Amino acid sequence: MSRFNKLSIRTQVLLIGALIVAIIPFVIVRVYQQSSATIIDQNTEYNTELVSILKQRVSANYASVSALMMNLGYDTTLQKFLLESDKLKLYDLSQKVESLMSVVRNTNPDILDIVAIGRAGSYTSLAGRSQRVQELMATASGDGTVHYRGYSPPDKVLDKGKLLFGMNIFASGDTQFYGERIGYILVILDIKSIHSAFEGYPRLAGTNFFMTDDKGVIYANSDEPESMLGKIGTDATDGGKASVQKIGRKKYAVQTFELPEISGKIVTAVPIHNLMKELERLRKTSYWLLVVTLLVVSIPYTMLMMNILRPLTRLIRFMKRLKGGNLEVLHDKVDLKGYAEIEVISSEFNTMLARINDLTDQLVDTTAKLYELDLEKQRAEYAYLQSQINPHFLSNTLDSIKGIAIVKGNHDIFEMTTALSSMLRYSIKGKDEVSLADEFKIAEACVKIHQGRFPGRISFKMICPAELQDIPVPRMILQPIVENALGHGLEPRGRGGVLLISAAVNADGRLEIGVEDNGVGIEPSRLAQLTELLSSGKAEPGGHIGVSNVNNRLRLKYGEPCGIRLHSEPGRGTQVVLTLAGPGAQAPGRRPGHEAV
């Protein structure tokens, strides 16, 4: 949410508008999808109920046929017929069996024929259909239950589609063949009753029904059932759950129901297009409604955007002109037309501009007065300095002292006076930059003056490669550091003090100057305090003002990471490293202060 709030008003308004425009078609599409799913589910439920009735019809026929076959197969007359071998008796028994079969057929009008055949080859049939009985008997199961034996499609004009049910007959009663298979019975049913059941129930136009067994199609209301069934995928699962499949160029809602009595199934395929006819008009109406809604919403939405964004754009443009530093803009006024809030902003902004203009005039007047006061102060300070000892007069006086020291033969006074005179002339030079060699010379003069104060207590060494001596550096950056090393590090130590001043180029191509002593060092807490002061760029009141001044000068001139770094251990000495922008050399040089002291 925070990211959204940071966006411009234009972007937020456009995003909200795009969201509203996207929601409307999304809702329409979702409603259409839900309606489609509901219609498909309702059709699925209807087909499930219809097929359930048909399955009950098939199951009832199967149960009826099974009961008839069991009663007939174990009738004593049929049992005698199947066991009898005498031809005269067979004839008489066959007449009785046919009469019995006629009675059975009269109880079920769908029965076309009943065929019974004995193991000795004797058989009887109501309609004389015995062509396949021997074959079916040879392939029959060894149990005594009723089995579906297949479907025979009509092959003549007068022939009918037939369902075949067969059962082995075993000897019963008081006979020596008790328990042995003595024959086979076959019942042939007319498929017409099942056709009538399919066509007798109302269903959606275009719905395809198929009933199959394990050998092929038994019933179909399609012209090419095998072709259509071959295109139905494996997604059509048992249980009535519909799956949408593409068959040819159309989509169908396909359902499959198992028929275990005939080792087959019932398949229904309803064209999706037929189901969605009523929804097509709803979808077209929804699209027109979407177009009208967008037109109705876009007009006030555009007006809202223009009344908000146009004044704000003018205000931003005016503020950018003001930001450019053109003070003449303060005398202008911004005129914003729009909503009441926008006009209030315009009025308040103009009032603020007038106030800023007044304050700017006052600030200019005050600044001018302060500048004049500062000039007067500088003039007073300059006059005060002029009233002090003239530096050139002091330099000439030092030269006179040097001459007297030579005449008197006092070499120490000569050395100290020479060093002090050099430092004085160096300090009053007008240049801001000097060569590194000159800076080293002043550092040497500073050390010599200190040696004059404390003879024999301090020794020093200077290392400055010839290729670095002409590098320009800021003036008076070494003298404060050397003064601190002598006064705070080596002087409290007493005798044996050593000072090393060296210069080198580091691996980054920057010039580094090291000032290292073996004095008393700095306590860790004090070292941390000084390091923090150097990092912050502040000066320590009453403390190492010279070090802070040099550090700030280097950072202002060269930027990060130039400046001063401190390394110190109590009792072992201090190392101060000054980092400057060097000549650009990338080869690693000697780090200052790493030579033996």
**Long-range Cβ contact pairs of 44-50 (< 8 A, separation 24 or more):** 44/240, 44/241, 44/242, 44/253, 44/255, 46/203, 47/203, 47/207, 47/240, 47/255, 47/268, 47/270, 48/240, 48/255, 48/257, 50/201, 50/203
Q: Which fold has domain 455-580?
A: Heat Shock Protein 90 (3.30.565)
Q: Domain 74-195, what architecture?
A: 2-Layer Sandwich (3.30)
Task: Identify the three-state secondary structure at position 411.
Answer: helix
Could you give the CA distance from residue 201 to residue 212 in angstroms, rounded to a whole number?
19
Q: Give pTM, 2 decimals.
A: 0.44
Which conformational region is residue 121 in: left (phi greater than 0), alpha (psi within -120 to 50 degrees), or beta? left
Could you give the CA distance from residue 418 to residue 463 in angstroms, rounded to a whole number?
22
**Would the CATH topology of 2-55+203-275 be identical to that of 74-195?**
yes
Predicted local distance difference test score (pLDDT) of residue 373: 56
Contact yes or no for 244/251 (Cβ under 8 A): yes
Predicted local distance difference test score (pLDDT) of residue 429: 59
Distances (CA, A) of 175 to 89, 178, 180: 17, 5, 10
Ranges of the chain whose pLDDT falls below 70 = 1-2, 4-6, 8-10, 128-132, 134, 155-159, 197-206, 223-227, 230-231, 233-240, 278-279, 324-331, 337-342, 369, 372-412, 414-431, 538-545, 583-597
Contact yes or no for 498/515 (Cβ under 8 A): no
pLDDT tens column, 51-70: 787 788 778 878 888 888 88
Q: Which fold has domain 2-55+203-275?
A: Beta-Lactamase (3.30.450)
Q: In DSSP terms, which residues pair with 517 in a beta bridge? A: 499, 574
Q: Which residue's structure tokens are 């008796």?
A: 89
Contact yes or no for 212/221 (Cβ under 8 A): no
Q: In DSSP terms, which residues pair with 505 in a beta bridge? A: 511
The angle that helices 87-107 and 9-73 make with each other, rounded to 10 degrees, is 140
Q: Where are the domains positioned within the chain?
A: 2-55+203-275, 74-195, 455-580
First to last CA, the chain: 65
Could you give the CA distance from residue 480 to residue 486 in angstroms, rounded to a whole number?
10
Name the nearest CA neighbour of 510 among 436, 594, 574, 588: 588
Distances (CA, A) of 523 to 55, 551, 572: 103, 21, 11
Mean pLDDT value across the chain = 76
